[in-house]
């Protein structure tokens, strides 16, 4: 640091030490009190000018629906209908954000989406995968923890807290984001009749979601949790936030079957029902079925796009094991590759894993559980063994390891 003496001068105005009230020392320079005051005034003026400037509208790079679907195809097997719906919705969301609003122009409205499908069919995976190519903030929230304001649980505003966190607390970016609400079927009414008493985790949550889905300014607690009177809130406008809701809606097949005048098991009632696919009643789902399941009409009206995911058959499960970029088999092979060991699965093992997944009705998630049951001993023992260069998993080995587990106790009724 430079040391002051009688010849020291301000590096900006060259005033001597005697001509100033104070001369502040720097690393290799000095600055006087007059220059500090002048710099502070300039800084204050420039900041005031910047605040008056309107932020320029960021133009997003539009991805065509086919490009979005092509990316989804690399990671998610099948579900073409749901992929198309998501691709178009995200593309239209981009266009809404890029439109220049004027008095004589038609204003585009957002179309929130509802994805319905059995557990393990890929609803959450679709949401996570589409997040990889988005240029807008994206978050996934779980509806099971939401309760009405004032009760134990999380307020509905916590949904937007997570979106703010994904946007690094930049409100302008968060207001262009996309939110995936998982397990939305868990907030259904406990009965089809309007609730007489408080339904704090069901109908109460649905009513709290209405304004957020439609578009309003919500005061969001920055760190989530409950609101407090003295807490500083962040106002967030939800008009341009796209909401994608997903749920299994377990048992809704019976309501669809009743509406179609058929049965999930047994004979058809009407000859006109011969072309109904009893193995996939989700394809016939309508807003009326969601209402009979327990969603209030006001909520259904704010989620106009309804799509379904088809149940996975053996062919789809077989492809899920090996085809995607991050397929289960490739993940296990990568784990053993770190140990310089080549992992080989015989084709019969794939068929065995798929058959067990179908038997236990666990969907795609069940594939991972069954693979873990087969591979756990190998992953425990082989890293400690020296000289192993290759591990081959045959059907006999897979059956032997699987039989040692407690999967039989998990078998679906």
Average pLDDT, integer, range 42-65: 67
Domains annotated for the chain, with CATH where assigned, are 1-53 (no CATH), 65-308 (3.40.50.300), 314-410 (1.10.8.60)
Q: Which of 6-15, 16-25, 102-111, 210-219 has the lowest mean pLDDT?
A: 102-111
> Above 80 in pLDDT, residue 253?
yes
Kindly report the pTM of this predicted structure.
Answer: 0.73
Q: How far apart are CA 139 and CA 177, in angstroms?
A: 8
> Above 70 in pLDDT, residue 226?
no
| Alpha carbon separation from 400 to 314, 383, 403, 404 (Å, rounded) | 22, 21, 5, 7
Q: What is the pLDDT of residues 257-295, one digit of tens each?
A: 888 875 555 555 455 555 777 778 888 899 999 998 989
Average pLDDT, the chain: 82
Which pLDDT belongs to residue 47? 78
> What's the token pair of residue 406?
């407690």
Q: Which of 148-162, 195-209, 294-308 has the lowest mean pLDDT?
A: 195-209
| Alpha carbon separation from 177 to 136, 242, 369, 373 (Å, rounded) | 5, 7, 34, 39
Average pLDDT, integer, range 290-303: 91
Which pLDDT belongs to residue 412? 45
Which pLDDT belongs to residue 135? 76
CB burial readout 169-183, b (16+ within 10 A) else e:
eeeebbbbbbbbbbb
Q: How far apart are CA 316 and CA 323, in angstroms?
A: 10
Average pLDDT, integer, range 92-101: 75
Average pLDDT, integer, range 309-337: 90
Contact 213, 160 (CB under 8 A): no
> Above 50 in pLDDT, residue 333?
yes
Q: How far apart are CA 331 and CA 375, in angstroms?
A: 12
Number of other residues whose CB lies within 10 A of the CB of residue 38: 13
Report the DSSP beta bridge partners of residue 179: 139, 243
pLDDT-based confidence at residue 229 (cuts at 50, 70, 90): low
Terminal C-alpha separation, the chain: 79
Q: What is the pLDDT of residues 342-394, one digit of tens each?
A: 999 999 999 999 999 888 877 788 898 899 999 999 999 998 888 889 999 99
Average pLDDT, integer, range 100-122: 77
| Alpha carbon separation from 190 to 119, 200, 294 (Å, rounded) | 21, 11, 7
Which pLDDT belongs to residue 381? 92
Average pLDDT, integer, range 5-14: 83
> Above 70 in pLDDT, residue 103?
no
> What's the token pair of residue 373?
């049951």
> Above 70 in pLDDT, residue 340?
yes
> Above 80 in pLDDT, residue 196?
no
pLDDT-based confidence at residue 230 (cuts at 50, 70, 90): low
> Above 50 in pLDDT, residue 46?
yes
Give the rounded distance of the alpha carbon of 363 from its chain centre. Answer: 20
Contact 382, 339 (CB under 8 A): yes
> Above 50 in pLDDT, residue 56?
no
Which pLDDT belongs to residue 413? 41
Q: Which of 48-57, 233-242, 247-256, 307-316 has the lowest mean pLDDT?
A: 48-57
3-state secondary structure the chain: CCCCCCCCECCCCCCEHHHCCCEEECCCCEEEHHHHHHHHHHHHHHHHHHHHCCCCCCCCCCCCHHHHHHHHHHHCCCCHHHHHHHHHHHHHHHHHHHCCCCCCCCCCCCCCEEEECCCCCCHHHHHHHHHCCCCCCEEEEEHHHECCCCCCCECCCHHHHHHHHHCCCCHHHHCCCEEEEECHHHHCCCCCCCCCCCCCCCHHHHHHHHHHHHCCEEEECCCCCCCCCCCCCEEEECCCCEEEEEECCCCHHHHHHHHCCCCCCCCCCCHHHCCCCCCCHHHHCCHHHHHHHCCCHHHHHCCCEEEECCCCCHHHHHHHHHCCCCCHHHHHHHHHHCCCCEEEECHHHHHHHHHHHHHHCCHHHHHHHHHHHHHHHHHHHHHHCCCCCEEEECHHHHHHHHHCCCHHHHCCC
What are the phi and psi torsion angles at 393 (to 5°)?
-100, 110
Residue 18 or residue 4, greater confidence? 18
């Amino acid at each position: 640091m430079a040391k002051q003496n009688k010849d020291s001068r301000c590096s900006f105005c060259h005033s001597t030490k005697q001509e100033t009230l104070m001369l502040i020392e720097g690393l290799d320079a000095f600055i006087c009190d007059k220059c500090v005051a002048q710099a502070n005034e300039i800084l204050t003026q420039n900041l005031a000018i910047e605040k008056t400037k309107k932020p320029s509208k960021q133009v997003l790079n539009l991805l065509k629906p086919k490009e979005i679907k092509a990316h989804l195809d690399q990671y998610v097997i099948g579900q073409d209908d749901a992929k198309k719906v998501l691709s178009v919705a995200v593309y239209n969301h981009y266009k809404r954000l890029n439109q220049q609003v004027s008095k004589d122009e038609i204003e585009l409205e957002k179309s929130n989406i509802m994805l319905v499908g059995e557990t393990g069919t890929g609803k959450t995976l679709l949401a996570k995968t589409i997040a990889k190519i988005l240029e807008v903030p994206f978050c996934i929230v779980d509806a099971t923890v939401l309760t009405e304001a004032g009760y134990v649980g999380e307020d509905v505003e916590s949904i937007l807290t997570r979106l703010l966190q994904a946007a690094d607390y930049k409100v302008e970016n968060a207001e262009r984001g996309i939110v995936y609400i998982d397990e939305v079927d868990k907030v259904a009414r406990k009965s089809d009749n309007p609730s007489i008493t408080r339904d704090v985790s069901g109908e109460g949550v649905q009513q709290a979601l209405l304004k957020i889905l439609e578009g309003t300014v919500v005061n969001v607690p920055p760190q989530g949790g409950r609101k407090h009177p003295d807490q500083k809130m962040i106002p967030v406008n939800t008009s341009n936030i796209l909401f994608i809701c997903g749920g299994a809606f377990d048992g809704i097949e019976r309501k669809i079957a009743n509406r179609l005048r058929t049965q999930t098991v047994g004979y058809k009632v009407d000859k006109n029902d011969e072309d109904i696919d009893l193995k996939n009643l989700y394809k016939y789902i309508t807003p009326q079925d969601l209402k009979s399941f327990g969603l209030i009409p006001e909520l259904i009206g704010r989620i106009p796009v309804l799509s379904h995911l088809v149940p996975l058959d053996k062919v789809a499960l077989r492809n899920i094991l090996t085809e995607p970029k991050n397929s289960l088999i490739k993940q296990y092979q990568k784990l053993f590759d770190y140990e310089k060991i080549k992992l080989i699965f015989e084709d019969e093992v794939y068929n065995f894993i798929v058959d067990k997944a179908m038997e236990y009705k666990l969907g795609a998630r069940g594939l991972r559980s069954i693979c873990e049951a087969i591979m756990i001993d190998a992953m425990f023992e082989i890293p400690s063994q020296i000289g192993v260069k290759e591990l081959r998993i045959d059907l006999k080995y897979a059956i032997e390891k699987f039989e040692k587990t407690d999967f039989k106790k998990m078998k679906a009724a």
